[in-house]
A and B are shown apart, each in its own frame.
Chain A
Amino acid sequence: MGETIVITSGKGGVGKTTITANLGISLGQLGFSVVMVDADIGLRNLDLVMGIEKKVKYHILDVSKGLCTLDDALVKDTRSKTPLCLLPASQSHFKEDIQKDDFSDLIQSLQERFQYVLIDSPAGIEYGFRLSTKDANQGIVVVNPEVSSIRDADRVISILEQKKIKPIYLIINRVNTELLKKKEIISPEEIQEILDIPLLGVIPEDPAVVISANQGKPFAYQTQSKLGELFLHIAKKLSSEEPVMMEDSYKAESLWNKVKKSFTLKK
């Protein structure tokens, strides 16, 4: 049975979908078979971020209603050397349109076929969130260095703990290194101290993330890029039973910025 990991946050717009897409690709690069489930029914986005929206013919509700098979609905990403699939959400339904048991049956079928099932949870803690977390055995909580995001993440962690989901990992996304240096945002260390769960990674704020999402070209495919490399580290950390050493990317980024600036000044 594959590992089922819910990627969640409480607050919307923190980067759950981007992280799901890139983490899925990176796990694929490590040789795992991966399926990503877009559980944000009615607000489908994961296909866009993956850049495979044109291949979507059926969606999760079509499968649950018996209008197509699971295989018909799974969209294969042919850029990946290992099986990497997406089960898209419907764009025209509501979250409540899918029954909990039907969703569980689908997840169970996917667990039998893939080594990793990544569920991209919708924001909030309502029905869609409960659906996404129902069959998960691990959780990843995505947080931005903002008080509202941290408080919502704390609430979500509390609910995941009550559901006995373990381990629950933390990814701190969109860390602005300039603001961090000026101590104008909450530091990753402080966030980790408050939320008190194992840290998978810190992702610096970078326009390349927005650009790659808009272009449907996930940066995890660019393994030579800093962000691609970072996600590969996160995937290793997630999948390895041994501890994986990883430098603090946001600190490394800061140093890199310094070098970049010194060259700019010389010009």
Chain B
Amino acid sequence: MQIKVIQEDDIQFKGCSSGILILINQDLDFEKLIKKLIQKLKKEKKFISDMDLFIKGKDRFLDQDELGMIRKMVRDKTKFSILNASQLEPELPDITTSPARNKGLLSSQPFLIINHSLRAGEEINTTSPVILHGDINPGAILKSSGPVIVTGKIKGDVIIQNAGEGAFVYSSGLQPNRLSINSIDLSGSILIESDMLNASIVYCNQNAINILRLKEDKWEKQL
């Protein structure tokens, strides 16, 4: 029987614009590979604790079953959450892989550009500012450490953490299940059904949430 030994380069951590990309040799013994991966994550814990982790096979993306098992085992043992690296290379590379560098207010991170609606059960957790072309549906969660621009409607959760005074959320219709900027929650009671129809900017200023709404071509302050 041939015994396969996991080599150092069977699990590689590489820095990428969105966080850390973990490359694994998916053809090796799965259990040993996972064990080694968990050991390595624990060892590098200090350096990667604030970063988004993406995983990929050496020559292909992992399928949902593989990813599900890895995510569960890693989460149980280390509390790290791992995302599929396919999110780094979506189907529309002409838009998604050209980072729109920004200045000053928006920090030096490139935008994470998402070209689809977030559906129930989907969760994006990123330190980058986000541009999402689509809606955030009820049951979907977007967590970011930067400004969030949603070209569609927000009906799910948007949580911006540790983003400083310049943090804001733009959407073309606002009826979120939860909207929080720097731990300050926007109360759902101040939003009415018709709010969905107006473009809105929500921003945080002096520890309070402010809302600007576009009404008849003019931005009006609601809060």
Give A residues with C-beta under 8 Å from B.
Answer: 130, 147, 150-152, 154-155, 157-159, 161-163, 194, 196
Tell me whether B64 and A154 are in contact (CB under 8 A).
no
A162 to B65 CA separation, bound complex (whole angstroms): 11
Residues of A close to B135: CB separation below 8 A: 194, 196
**Is B197 positioned at the interface, with any CB of A under 8 Å from its CB?**
no
B121 close to chain A: CB less than 8 A = yes
Q: In the assembly, what is the distance between CA of A157 and CA of B135, in Å?
A: 14
Residue among B64, B65, B116, B139 making CB contact with A151, cutoff 8 Å: B139
Expressed in whole angstroms, the Cα–Cα distance for A151 and B65 within the complex equals: 22
Partner pick for B120 among A155, A161, A162, A196, CB 8 A cutoff: A155
Interface residues of B in 113-166 (CB under 8 A from A): 116-117, 119-122, 135, 137-140, 155
Task: Point out the residues of chain A lying under 8 angstroms from B120, CB to CB.
Answer: 151-152, 154-155, 158
Interface majority SS (helix, strand, loop, mixed), chain B: loop
Q: Nearest CB to that of A147 among chain B residues?
A: B138
Which 6 residue pairs of A and B lie closest in terms of their CB atoms, listed nearest first?
A158-B119, A154-B120, A155-B121, A155-B120, A154-B119, A151-B120
Q: Which residue of A lies closest to B152 (CB)?
A: A196
In angstroms, Cα B82 to Cα A237, docked, is: 41
Compute how far the CA of A155 lies from the CA of B135 in the bound complex, rounded to whole angstroms. 14
Q: Closest approach, in angstroms, between the C-beta of B142 and any C-beta of chain A?
A: 14
- 24 A-B pairs with CB atoms under 8 Å apart are A130-B65, A147-B138, A151-B120, A151-B137, A151-B138, A151-B139, A154-B119, A154-B120, A154-B121, A154-B138, A154-B140, A155-B119, A155-B121, A155-B139, A158-B119, A158-B121, A158-B122, A161-B116, A161-B119, A163-B64, A194-B135, A194-B137, A194-B155, A196-B117
A194 to B135, CA, bound (A): 8
What distance in Å separates the Cβ of A63 from its nearest Cβ neighbour in chain B? Answer: 24
Residues of A within 8 Å of B64, CB to CB, are: 159, 162-163
Q: Is the CB of B119 within 8 A of A157?
A: yes
Q: Tell me the smallest distance from the CB of B151 to a CB of chain A, in Å.
A: 13
- Report B197 CB to chain A, min CB distance, Å: 12
A154 contact set on B, CB distance < 8 A: 119-121, 137-140
- Residue of chain A at shortest CB distance from B116: A161
Chain B residue contacts of A152, Cβ below 8 A: 120
Most buried by A among B117, B120, B139, B140: B120
Assign chain B's interface to a size class.
Answer: 10 to 19
Least CB distance, B217 to chain A, in whole angstroms: 24
Please indicate the chain B residues that have their CB under 8 angstroms from the CB of A162 in the complex: 64
A132 to chain B, nearest CB (A): 14
B68 CB to nearest A CB, Å: 10
Q: How far is B169's CA from A35's CA once the two chains are assembled, in angstroms?
A: 50
Shortest C-beta distance, B124 to chain A (Å), equals 12
20 further A-B contacts with Cβ under 8 Å, apart from A154-B140, A159-B121, are A150-B138, A151-B120, A151-B138, A152-B120, A154-B119, A154-B120, A154-B121, A154-B137, A155-B120, A158-B119, A158-B120, A158-B122, A159-B64, A161-B116, A162-B64, A194-B135, A194-B137, A194-B138, A196-B117, A196-B135
Closest to B137 in A: A154
**Smallest CB-CB separation from B155: which chain A residue?**
A194
* B107 CB, min distance to chain A CBs, angstroms: 29
Q: Which residues of B contact A155 (CB under 8 A)?
A: 119-121, 139
- Smallest Cβ-Cβ distance to A162: which chain B residue: B64
Instruction: Determine the distance from Cα of A152 to Cα of B121 in the docked complex, in whole angstroms.
Output: 9
A151-B121 Cα distance, complex, nearest whole Å: 9
Which of chain B's residues have a CB closer than 8 A to the CB of A150? 138
Residues of A within 8 A of B155 (CB): 194
Expressed in whole angstroms, the Cα–Cα distance for A151 and B120 within the complex equals 6
Interface residues of B in 26-70 (CB under 8 A from A): 64-65
- CB contacts (< 8 Å) of A157 on chain B: these are 119
Complex interface: chain B residues within 8 A of A151 (CB): 120, 137-139
User: Within 8 Å CB of B140, what residues of A?
Assistant: 154
Instruction: Write the nearest CB–CB distance from A125 to chain B, whole angstroms.
Output: 9
Instruction: Using CB atoms, name the residue of chain A closest to B134.
Output: A196
CA gap between A155 and B117 in the complex, in Å: 12
Most chain A beta carbons < 10 A, residue from B121, B138, B139, B155 = B121
**Which of B65, B116, B119, B135 has most A Cβ within 10 Å?**
B119
> Taking CB as reference atom, which chain A residue is nearest B119?
A158
Per the bound structure, the CA–CA distance linking A155 and B116 in Å amounts to 14
CB neighbours (8 Å) of B117 from chain A are 196
A161 CA to B87 CA in the complex, in Å?
Answer: 13
